[in-house]
Amino acid sequence: MKNIKVLGSGCANCKATFARIEKAAEEKGVEISLEKVEDMADIMSYGIMSTPGVVVDGEVVNHFVRATISFGQP
């Protein structure tokens, strides 16, 4: 299972990122733990200065851009 956190203030882009990850995981049949992180101190602890940010298994993999979500599958 992948542990994924969406870092953001709850803005439209943050909500859209959360929804896209949720939908992609469902479509690919990938089991994930998905969490919203909205506390600014927590967000800044990842070195993120602009949101949304995406953290997978403790590693920042994306911030402030629309990423393709594939979960490593074709």
Is 41 annotated in the active site? no
Is 14 annotated in the active site? yes
SS (H, E, C) 27-65: HHCCCEEEEEECCHHHHHHCCCCCCCEEEECCEEEEECC
Active-site residue, from 11, 19, 34, 67: 11
d(CA 34, CA 51): 16
Distance between the two ends of the chain, CA-based, in angstroms?
A: 18
Active-site residue, from 4, 6, 7, 14: 14
Active site residues: 11, 14
